[in-house]
Structure 1
Amino acid sequence: MPERELKFHIPATSRDSLLQAVAALSPTEHRLLARYYDTPERELAKARVALRLRNEDGQWVQTVKAPGADTLSRQEFNHPRPADSLDISALKGTPQYKTLSQLKDRLRPTYETEVARLAVRIQHQDGIIELAYDRGVLRSGGTELEIHELELELVSGGIPALFRLAEQWQQQYGLILELRSKAERGDTLAALLQNGDPPDLSALIRIRKAGNIRHDSSHDLNSAFQVCIGDCLQQIIRNTAGLAGIDSELATQAQRISLVHQLRVGVRRLRSCWKLFKPWIPADASPEAAELRRYFSLFGEGRDYDIVCHDITPRLIAAGMPPLAMPPTELDDPQRARNLAASAGLQTILLRLLEQSLTAPETDTRRTQETRKAKTGESAAATMVRRLNKWLNQVVQAGERFDILTPEERHDLRKKVKRLRYSFEFSQALLETLHPEEARTLLLGIQRALGELNDLYTAEAFYERLADQAQPPPAAWFAIGWIRAMQSTQIQRVGELFGALAKARPLKP
């Protein structure tokens, strides 16, 4: 049967007070010892299936879980067992039986969890929610990871009740929204231990990049929007949790930089998705959208500093720049990004955006499609193609004048290129037409080239500030000269790419 739940990591500073709050609700205490199974080649994990045996207060229960229809949903099938042994035949009739019955290798225990759970059911608005506070360990091969989670599962009622209760607990105790399951975290640990060497636990931090957008054959705009938004939010929330969640203290500097970068990519993709679907689903006007832009900028300040210090400056040193002591700044403090990611403001925004993605107004969307078609005579697909071609033409026309654009105009063009590229990806499977592969490839190349140019502008501004000091370091003038020479080369390269893009075929409705 399907289950819908929200999960949060509990920061160390909130555990005692949250425990007291849960205890005051007269919860039931459970002792849960679970063993998770997979093959040596991780066939179940690759199929996104989790299989476990769990002792629940003395009763063994076999459970198989798999992703559901959306970010919140899980398929779950439970079967009581007389002892701690698997019975795959009990899963006949479930969607996962075929996967389990066709494994190429034998199942074996790969990791286990030992959890003390405090659980209580709460009536909230029109829903009943089971709140569970889990404390314990996740264990594999002698390595243990702590578990400190608060789960809220919707037992009955509507999704808004689940989110309203979750938001209350999140804001009061500084909880971090976490999309990883115990099984996902455990599989990552078990995979690290397979070669027998002492594990590098920083590998528990997984950088979430953009996923492959896949739509079903119905071509329904509302479902397509939810798929696109869902992937964007997965990218944002998972990378935010990587910065602020339970394993965040393990992150290396390089991982932290990548987490911030991919978090911001996720925000750009989300905003591009809102823009693409705006004629039918005007989601970008919410207060959360405006506030998310503010956090995007705050993370961007740290990202700019990382680019200067860890990308451009090493290249300058390799080119012969004199030694330079970088001025101290709070942007160099890794705790800054972690604090931003963990902030109650951002976490509340992410929770609300997740709710909005699951409750898109399908009826209003269909009515909007019908109204637009009645006025224009166009189908939704034709409108989307026309919209993408318009953006493509705007980008090409601006690109033809690239050599005379100001840095600010080039930055604006870069944002339009990103929006167009992401929109191609969002609509690729939705439209009954193939996007010109040449155009998509060129857009990716242009985006990267413009990104490099933007990094050079950022570095130029940084070193110009050093050069404006009363006693400017010689390295500052060296850097400015080298950076401007690189800008000239890059501007020429970008112009050539835009020239090639102008020859690309437009989309056909």
Structure 2
Amino acid sequence: METELKLSIAQPDLSRIRQHPLLLDHARAVPTEHRLTDTYYDTPKLELWRNGVSLRVREEGHTWIQKVKTASASSATLHERDEWESSLPSGQPQPVEIARQIKSEKIARLLRAASVSKALRPVFKNATRRTIWNLELPDGQLVECALDTGKIDCKGQTVAIGELELELKKGNPTQLFELALALHEDIPLQIANDSKAARGYALLEKQAPEPVKAIPVRLMRKMTLEDAFQCIGLNCLQQMEANVPGVLMQSVESLHQMRVGLRRLRALLDMFSELAPLPSQVREGVDWLAGELGATRDWDVLADSTLGSITNFDSGELRELAEAKARDLHQALLVSLRDPRYTQVVLQLNGWLRGRHWRRVTNFAENSPLASRASDAMTPLLHKAQRRLRKRIDTLDQADAAGRHRIRIAAKKARYAVEFFSSLLPRGQVKQYVSSLSGLQDQLGTLNDMEVASRLLSELEGSGASRAAPFALGYLNAAAEASIPHLTKSLRVARRLKTPIDK
């Protein structure tokens, strides 16, 4: 399995990276140059890609090598893939031949199937100039640094390639992020969340990738709390990063799922704030990103759902205005995700989590909760989340929108806490707890959407953009007021809830 960090570089900066002192000073030898042509094969229905597999034939000089790769494993930012390769006598792929060395029966069966092996055809091609530096870092870790330039060609459509791959050959993956941050200080880089294969297929399909929901966290019984924290954090980052390609194609649902991933991460960091405090600079970057994603999402919700809840009302004009606002913000978000600050935040978060850098500022010892078994040390964390929720319910004035919002956040954090550790908790109790809080969240979420919609509609009303805004504003305010009494039962249930570790 290869472990590599992919970064994209703007075309004007390609010459600068070749002369960067970090590459020149740590290279074990003169860099090597390769001219590569990669042809990707699939069936007319793209059966390989739709099953998470790519097959390419690489030509270099007068040699051909076929390679099968799986989609990236569940690892935030780092690309960890299974891959298999074999030599070929010509440029024609031999899927049945390579299937013999693949242990995954699902993949091997797919490649052997006559409906696949006999239907393969070229779908797109990469022409690449690859420059490789083999780096030896001061601590003895070995990294292969490959700079790829060229183009992807798909049915007459072309996309430029400017990509830096840092592949770990020996050592800790944390070093990849340290190296990337050092390069990023001098030359703006971007996280490359999709492979060349993914970019080629995007040209074929011309649609945003499917949004990626959170993958359930799987914790082992013998894990320490520190191990669990790292595992959960990377799980949140993976959801966030996996949705970036869709967000860049302005997918509303991908933005929602990216925001969920970031929200889960912030809840985790809050839960562990005393045990593993995040550096203030990184915290500021996380908060900045949350603000960028949230503003766009608010207008999406108004256009896609809130206006549709108004009965006996033609919301077409308002919806068009809200959609226009959302489109403008999606465009602005593209700039934010390509901003050097975004790259810095993602690299810093990954380096901090993978390198366990909280140990630099905390007195990590054998008696620290982080060194204890997660199955024991999670108890006070779950209790704290539930106590906070109860306290906010006890002091709530139901007519206070800000107070309702605070309860919504507390309920969300309590639910996330249990979901994070659910593999160590009784399944039935987890299901009941999560279901109860989800119901409360839905009610509070609807009220919050109405509150946000009122603010956004007031903006439209104030600008004179729509004469329909005052009616919609009045309707939503009345609907919110009418919904408040129905909260009482859900709040009472949430108040009485016991965490799944309590009998």
What is the TM-score when the length of structure 2 is the normalising length?
A: 0.79
Verify: 1:226 aligned to 2:227, yes or no. no
Structure-2 separation of matches of 1:96 and 1:322: 51
Pairing 1:296-307 to 2, within 5 Å after superposition: 296-307=290-301
Structure-2 separation of matches of 1:323 and 1:432: 50
Structure-2 separation of matches of 1:137 and 1:183: 9
Q: Which residue of 2 aligns with 1:404?
A: 398
State the AA in 2 paired with 1:350.
V
Change in CA separation of 1:143 and 1:329 when aligned onto 2, cut-off 3 Å = closer
Pairing 1:182-331 to 2, within 5 Å after superposition: 182-186=196-200, 192=205, 201=206, 203-216=207-220, 218-243=222-247, 248=248, 251=249, 255=251, 257-278=252-273, 280=275, 282-313=276-307, 315-316=309-310, 319=313
Q: Which residue of 2 aligns with 1:383?
A: 377
Q: Post-superposition shift, 1:488?
A: 2.0
State the AA in 2 paired with 1:183.
A
Q: Which residue of 2 aligns with 1:17?
A: 13
Verify: 1:457 aligned to 2:461, yes or no. no
Structure-2 separation of matches of 1:82 and 1:176: 38
Residue ranges of structure 2 left out of the alignment (5+ in a row):
25-29
Verify: 1:116 aligned to 2:154, yes or no. no
State the AA in 2 paired with 1:4.
T
From 152, 162, 165, the counterpart of 2:176: 162
Residue ranges of structure 1 left out of the alignment (5+ in a row):
193-200
State the AA in 2 paired with 1:22.
R
Cα-to-partner distance string for 1:239-292 (whole Å, 9 max, x where unaligned):
33444xxxx4xx35xx2x334333222211111222344565x15345212221
Cα-to-partner distance string for 1:76-135 (whole Å, 9 max, x where unaligned):
444333334437566766644774157672333463432222313053643443222232
Cα root mean square deviation, aligned:
4.1
Cα-to-partner distance string for 1:18-44 (whole Å, 9 max, x where unaligned):
246438978544332334456788775
Verify: 1:486 aligned to 2:488, yes or no. no
Q: Which residue of 1 aligns with 2:148?
A: 133
Verify: 1:80 aligned to 2:87, yes or no. yes
Change in CA separation of 1:100 and 1:94 when aligned onto 2, cut-off 3 Å = closer
Cα-to-partner distance string for 1:369-422 (whole Å, 9 max, x where unaligned):
8414699xx853233134324423442453466553521111111111221222
Change in CA separation of 1:38 and 1:466 when aligned onto 2, cut-off 3 Å = closer
Q: Post-superposition shift, 1:157?
A: 4.9
Contact 2:40 2:124 in 1 (8 A): yes
Pairing 1:63-102 to 2, within 5 Å after superposition: 63-66=67-70, 67=72, 70-71=75-76, 72=78, 73-84=80-91, 85-86=93-94, 95-96=103-104, 99-100=107-108
Cα-to-partner distance string for 1:427-486 (whole Å, 9 max, x where unaligned):
1113466543122122222223222211211222334456678x9976444233211111
Contact 2:41 2:55 in 1 (8 A): yes
Contact 2:174 2:351 in 1 (8 A): yes
State the AA in 2 paired with 1:175.
L
Q: Post-superposition shift, 1:182?
A: 2.8
Pairing 1:384-463 to 2, within 5 Å after superposition: 384-396=378-390, 398-399=392-393, 402=396, 404=398, 406-431=400-425, 434-463=428-457
Q: Which residue of 2 aligns with 1:3?
A: 2
Structure-2 separation of matches of 1:188 and 1:336: 22
Structure-1 separation of matches of 2:87 and 2:198: 23
From 170, 193, 208, the counterpart of 1:179: 193
State the AA in 1 paired with 2:5.
L
Change in CA separation of 1:291 and 1:149 when aligned onto 2, cut-off 3 Å = same
Contact 2:143 2:169 in 1 (8 A): yes
Change in CA separation of 1:437 and 1:366 when aligned onto 2, cut-off 3 Å = farther
Verify: 1:355 aligned to 2:351, yes or no. yes
Q: Post-superposition shift, 1:349?
A: 0.7
- DSSP-derived class of the 1:228 partner: helix
Contact 1:111 1:138 in 2 (8 A): no
Range 16-25 or range 171-180, more displaced:
16-25
Q: Post-superposition shift, 1:329?
A: 7.3
Contact 1:330 1:336 in 2 (8 A): no
Q: Which residue of 2 aligns with 1:62?
A: 66
Pairing 1:460-471 to 2, within 5 Å after superposition: 460-464=454-458
Cα-to-partner distance string for 1:179-235 (whole Å, 9 max, x where unaligned):
222334455666x4xxxxxxxx1x244433322323345444344333322222122
Contact 2:39 2:126 in 1 (8 A): no
Contact 1:9 1:178 in 2 (8 A): yes
Structure-1 separation of matches of 2:342 and 2:175: 21
Contact 1:122 1:128 in 2 (8 A): yes
Q: Which residue of 2 aligns with 1:197?
A: none
Q: Post-superposition shift, 1:168?
A: 4.3
Change in CA separation of 1:326 and 1:54 when aligned onto 2, cut-off 3 Å = closer
Contact 2:150 2:162 in 1 (8 A): yes
Structure-2 separation of matches of 1:467 and 1:99: 57
Change in CA separation of 1:430 and 1:290 when aligned onto 2, cut-off 3 Å = farther
- DSSP-derived class of the 1:176 partner: strand
From 488, 495, 498, the counterpart of 1:495: 488
Structure-1 separation of matches of 2:401 and 2:365: 39
Contact 2:147 2:165 in 1 (8 A): yes
From 366, 371, 378, the counterpart of 2:367: 371
Structure-2 separation of matches of 1:343 and 1:37: 34
Q: Which residue of 2 aligns with 1:338?
A: 334
Change in CA separation of 1:390 and 1:149 when aligned onto 2, cut-off 3 Å = same
- DSSP-derived class of the 1:371 partner: coil
Contact 2:177 2:350 in 1 (8 A): no
Contact 2:33 2:131 in 1 (8 A): yes
Change in CA separation of 1:54 and 1:476 when aligned onto 2, cut-off 3 Å = closer
- DSSP-derived class of the 1:508 partner: coil
How many residues matched? Answer: 481
